Amino acid sequence: MITDQRSDNLGEVTNQVSGAVARGYENVREAFAAAQAHDEGEAQLAVYRHGELVVDLWTGEENRIGIVMSCTKGLVATCAQMLVERGLLDVDEPVTRYWPEFTAKAVTVRHLLTHTAGLPSFPKEAGLVAADALDWERCVKALGEATPAWEPGSAYAYHPLTYGYLVGEIVRRVAGRSVGEFFRTEIGEPLELDLWIGVPEEQEHRVIPQFSTAQDFKIPAALEFGSRGVRSLVRGFTFAAECMPLLNTREGRAAEIPAMNAVGDAHSLARMYAATIGEVDGVRLLTEESVRQARTPQTDTVSAPSPLNLMRMPFAQRFGLGYELARPGQPMLGSTSFGHSGAGGRLAFADPESGLAVGYTCSNMTWDPMAGADPRWLHWTAALSGQFIAV
């Protein structure tokens, strides 16, 4: 339990760190301060251990919330896993069982969760533009009529934007309410989270605008002339990038874009993940068996679509059922960790072995996934990696 609370300016730290840590976690405070010393923007770090808050730190203003980018995918994965646990959703059933209008009959729910469905982009012929990301019905109709770019299950490639609509529509069909509403009523409200997929208007005054001091990521032009699967993948990343400006608007934050537009704070991310691996104030979201299934590697033996499978991609992502797993470019805390990162440097995960659950948010989008782990993570993940052994 947290008992220590103060603000400090350590050494030449230019960003003041505020908040509190439990006894024995002072080194995590120092690590966070070092990580954020010269970062242009606001950041938050929260850690739970065995259901108790042990780290709650931030730079900038208190009580702020922000876009968590693809950490949203971890929220959606949790919604889906809860439906699996309740016996309402079978990951090995074809999508058409739950979504009859879906035309790609070979695609299973497992394929959607593991980014192996072959639908990393909206079909070109649908003619969607970035503003259409706000239109749920148009997006899911386009995906429901799409032809996979590769045989489902035969290859893996990240579905940066379509994942949210695909899995979100499954949740909507099974639960009878949108994925944002399901998250709010089944997870957000029971745990008293400041975390939403579609943030209420009354929370808008708390939102930290996001920005980037990093160089723009450019997709190699040669890939635009690759196989159908590669071209689809390029379109997916390009379209997602074109949607980014929406996230700094009220319309973009109010909508449900469940691959990238959840709004919340680090404390709520950590608290949600804590409730996946244990009880938090009487609430537990998943059983141990559900967690075991969700974090079982699904993509380790699946290659990228040709010709990308001939390239040695650094720090390739690893997935369980909708959750990212630890890898060199995103070590989290160890082999049992599962969660999801978000563009620019957000990170949220649980680690069953240590009982730790972590949320980190930032307004400055500097992380380049191709370069390895975000340097801002390394200080405090190193501190936590040794911490749970001694505490």
Judge contact between 170 and 99, C-beta under 8 A.
yes
Mean pLDDT by 10 residues, the chain (391 residues): 50 73 96 92 97 98 97 99 99 99 98 98 96 98 97 95 99 99 99 99 95 56 57 88 94 98 99 99 98 97 72 73 90 94 96 98 88 89 74 40
Residue with tokens 């639908």: 119
Burial (Cβ within 10 Å: 0-12, 13-18, ≥19) of residue 62: exposed
Q: Is 70 a catalytic residue?
A: yes
pLDDT given at position 218: 54
The model carries a pTM of 0.92
**φ and ψ at 349, to 5 degrees?**
-165, 165
Rounded to an integer, what is the distance from CA 36 to the centroid of its chain?
Answer: 21
In the numeric block, which tokens belong to residue 30? 């120092």
Positive or negative CA dihedral for 63, 50, 387, 22?
Answer: positive
pLDDT given at position 273: 99
Degrees, nearest 5: CA angle 162-256-94: 45
**CA atoms of 56 and 271, how far apart (whole Å):** 11
Amino acid identity, position 123: P
**CA atoms of 62 and 290, how far apart (whole Å):** 35
Helix (H) or strand (E) holding 232: helix 228-243
**CA atoms of 302 and 157, how far apart (whole Å):** 9
**CA atoms of 109 and 96, how far apart (whole Å):** 9
Would you call 60 helix, strand, or coil by DSSP?
coil
Q: With the CA atoms of 347, 352, 353 and 358 taken in that order, what torsion angle do they form, in degrees rounded to the nearest 10?
A: 30
pLDDT given at position 234: 85
Strands (E), the chain: 2-5, 17-22, 43-49, 52-59, 66-67, 195-196, 263-264, 324-325, 338-342, 346-351, 356-362
> Comparing C-alpha atoms, which of 176, 179, 180 is closest to residue 168?
179
Burial (Cβ within 10 Å: 0-12, 13-18, ≥19) of residue 112: buried
In the numeric block, which tokens belong to residue 146? 């799409």
Q: Given the residues 7, 18, 70, 354, select the one marked as catalytic.
A: 70
**φ and ψ at 95, to 5 degrees?**
-55, -30
Q: What is the DSSP letter of 73?
A: H
**CA atoms of 310 and 7, how far apart (whole Å):** 51
* The total number of residues written for the chain in this structure: 391
**CA atoms of 323 and 330, how far apart (whole Å):** 13
Query: Topology of domain 66-390, per CATH?
Result: Beta-lactamase (3.40.710)
Helix (H) or strand (E) holding 109: helix 109-113
pLDDT given at position 9: 43
In the numeric block, which tokens belong to residue 50? 């065995």
**CA atoms of 55 and 48, how far apart (whole Å):** 7
